[in-house]
Amino acid sequence: MAQCNFSIAKDHAEVINKKGAVSIKPNPSAKEIMVNGVKIVSETKLSHNDR
């Protein structure tokens, strides 16, 4: 059985829903946030099946 050891800070990012358009905005102090394998540094729109 595989194990994952990670943690997420309480204020890691903000998930925003504007009229059904969902985006994620990293907190400036967040260590790293990735969407689909790409590091994001500003608010990024999310699409169905994003990872």
> Using one digit for the tens of pLDDT, what is the confidence trace for 2-17?
777 777 777 889 999 9
CA 43/CA 19 separation, integer angstroms: 16
Residue ranges making up the domain that contains 34: 13-45
pTM: 0.74
Residues 20-45 pLDDT 10s: 999 999 998 888 899 999 999 999 99
Task: Evaluate whether residue 4 is within a structural domain.
Answer: no
Model confidence at 47, pLDDT cuts 50, 70, 90, reads very high
Residue at 28 is within a domain: yes
Strand order in the sheet with 44-45: 13-18, 21-26, 44-45
Which residue's entry shows tokens 């997420």?
Answer: 8
User: Is residue 6, in this structure, part of any structural domain at all?
Assistant: no
Q: How many domains does the chain have?
A: 1
Q: In one letter, which amino acid is 15?
A: V
Residue whose tokens read 């059904």: 20
> What pLDDT does 29 receive?
84
